[in-house]
Amino acid sequence: MGFSDLLSQYDTLDMAAYLAGVTPADVERVLAKHSITPLDYLALLSPAAEGMLEAMAQKANGISMRHFGKTIQLFTPLYLANYCTNQCVYCGFNTANKITRSQLTAEELRKEAEAIAATGLKHILILTGDAPAKSTVEYIGDCSRILSEYFSSISIEVYAMTQDEYAYLIDKGVDGLTLYQETYNRSLYKELHPKGPKRDYDFRLDAPERGCMAGMRTVNVGALLGLESVWQRDAFFTGLHADYLQRKYPATSIAISPPRMRPHVGSYEPASIVSDKNLVQLVLAQRIFLHNVGITVSTRESAQLRDNMMPLGVTKMSAGVTTAVGGHTSDDDSTAQFDISDPRSVDEMCRAIESKGFQPIFKDWEPF
């Protein structure tokens, strides 16, 4: 059974009604369980659960301590290019937005890599826009070869690929795949992606699974919260997706991200507002549902919120972040994909992590 089959089982579920029907006693029962079902997870995303965050936090904290201890893994994104052939209506890289487009040369990439490596980071996430003809698989592969001289782990967050393409990149040094479905709502997805290769919902939906089959060591899924009018829908299906992958590909380490929409060029109005409280609720619910998935909270979130979320289930955070091409060696951020809320350097992040009683981790993986 593929993931889309699993998704379609929930076609008839009236999620808003289900969420409204959850009582505090239901939430207590879920919290008393050792392992919970998908519908239990949904219950933890309900308004009733929003009033019980401390109890959820205690449980999530206990699970996180057992599985991860007091550690936060650090990484930084590196934007290789911002060429894009899509018109994702919510994105700053949208081809309709008149921004300067560029792609790093090998020489520029080395300068970026050196600047990042000097901070001590060993895990890197490379990104491009969705332009397979410009930022080709071969180009990304060549960049990975260069970056593997500087970093022990390279993840990609690029357009959806075939299994063979993922295998090719693994051969070039890539070991992680991050790919957000943006929204699991098929018709909304079509509206939000009016043009370009990304319009193919199913090809993107199955891409994380193809990454698992190709042999990626870590696969990170997520949805862009705020696109759906009921944010819990995408939050629920993201959890379901991670659970599906974890069960089917137990050798792959599955991770999950809860990105919230932030302001950017193009000014798209979110369909729902996910409050700080809701974001915390979501991360707690994810940890209680999926004991050992990685959870990444990006610099879309504020320093204060990120610091407070460390004990609640978060395992991975970015530091020294720029979302502009060449941003690690230039101050020009006019081409950024989105504005960041936590501009702290790697050093500053380390001090913040340590002051919370946690240990910053620079390297926990290096392929043979």
Partner 1 sequence: MEANNNDALVIGGVSLTSRLFTGTGKYGSDTIIPDVCASSGSQVITVALRRVDTNAATGNVMQHIPKHMQLLPNTSGARNADEAVRIARLARAAGCGDWIKIEVISDNKYLLPDGYETAKATEILAKEGFTVLPYVNADLYIARDLVNAGAAAVMPLGAPIGSNRGLKTKEMVRILIDEISLPIIVDAGIGAPSQACEAMEMGAAACLVNTAIAASGDPVAMGRAFGEAVRAGRAAYLAQTAAVSTGTADASSPLTGFLGGM
Min separation Cβ 40 and partner 1, Å: 9
For residue 24, which of 42, 54, 48, 50 has the smallest C-alpha distance? Answer: 48
One-letter amino acid identity for 132?
P
* 9 scored as a contact of partner 1 (CB under 8 A): no
> Is residue 92 a contact partner of residue 99, using CB atoms and an 8 Å limit?
yes
For residue 302, which of 246, 329, 262, 335 has the smallest C-alpha distance? Answer: 262
Phi-psi map region of 226: left, alpha, beta (phi>0 left; psi -120 to 50 alpha): left
Between 99 and 274, name the residue whose CB sits nearer to partner 1: 274
Between 292 and 330, name the residue whose CB sits nearer to partner 1: 292
Determine the Cα angle at 215 with ends 213 and 219, to 5°: 85
Min separation Cβ 230 and partner 1, Å: 21
Between 40 and 209, name the residue whose CB sits nearer to partner 1: 40
Between 35 and 267, name the residue whose CB sits nearer to partner 1: 35
One-letter amino acid identity for 156?
I
Min separation Cβ 108 and partner 1, Å: 40
How many residues bind partner 1 (CB under 8 A)? The answer is 22
Which range, of 54-62, 101-109, 172-180, 198-206, touches partner 1 by CB under 8 A?
54-62
Min separation Cβ 31 and partner 1, Å: 6
CA distance 316 to 319: 10
Q: How is residue 274 written in tokens?
A: 């996910």
* 345 scored as a contact of partner 1 (CB under 8 A): no
* 247 scored as a contact of partner 1 (CB under 8 A): yes
* 355 scored as a contact of partner 1 (CB under 8 A): no
Q: Which residues contact 240 (CB under 8 A, 6 or more apart)?
A: 6, 7, 10, 38
* 229 scored as a contact of partner 1 (CB under 8 A): no
> Is residue 353 a contact partner of residue 303, using CB atoms and an 8 Å limit?
no
CA distance 342 to 217: 28
Min separation Cβ 263 and partner 1, Å: 19
Q: Work out whether strand 316-318 and strand 71-79 pair parallel, antiparallel, or are unpaired.
A: parallel
> Site mask, partner 1, residues 55-94, x = CB under 8 A?
--xx--x---------------------------------
Min separation Cβ 271 and partner 1, Å: 21
Which range, of 27-35, 75-83, 94-102, 259-267, touches partner 1 by CB under 8 A?
27-35
For residue 293, which of 251, 259, 243, 258 has the smallest C-alpha distance? Answer: 243
For residue 289, which of 72, 69, 56 has the smallest C-alpha distance? Answer: 56
* 357 scored as a contact of partner 1 (CB under 8 A): no
Min separation Cβ 344 and partner 1, Å: 18
SS3 label, residue 123: strand
Which of 15, 53, 213, 303 touches partner 1 (CB under 8 A)?
53
* 280 scored as a contact of partner 1 (CB under 8 A): yes
Residue 157: is it exposed, middle or buried by C-beta count within 10 angstroms (0-12/13-18/19+)? middle
> Site mask, partner 1, residues 290-329, x = CB under 8 A?
--------------x---x--xx-----------------
- Return the sign of the alpha-carbon dihedral for residues 350, 351, 352, 354: positive
Query: What are the residues binding partner 1 (CB under 8 A)?
Result: 28-29, 31-35, 53-54, 57-58, 61, 247, 250, 275-277, 280, 304, 308, 311-312
